[in-house]
Amino acid sequence: MPLTERKLLFSTETDQTTQVAQTLVHSVRSLSELEWLVNIVPDWGPYMKPHIDYLHRKFQWIDEIATPRIEHFLLRVIKAVKNKSVTAR
């Protein structure tokens, strides 16, 4: 589908952003999926840009801050459980 048709489909250049566009953008589950979506339709227009920016910040936070902290916490828990099982023997 040509870029102009994609822009029309998602109403990227009007203030009447379609429910389809919002649903598509908010169905993205990772930064790589978001980057793929932005490559498909490079200019989402001024009305969808805040949605794209929000999701970019959200996934960047997940990748850079949340995931490493959760991994660190889980590794500490696993280590503590292993230490308890060794001392219980």
- Output the six-digit token pair for 88: 């219980």
CB 67 within 8 A of CB 58: no
Residue boundaries of the structural domains of the chain: 3-88
Average model confidence (pLDDT) across the chain: 86
CB 17 within 8 A of CB 48: yes
User: Measured between alpha carbons, how far is 25 from 44 in angstroms, rounded to an integer?
Assistant: 10
Least confident of 5-9, 23-27, 63-67: 5-9
Whole-structure pTM value:
0.73
Q: What is the pLDDT of residue 46?
A: 83
Q: What is the pLDDT of residue 86?
A: 74
Q: What is the pLDDT of residue 13?
A: 64
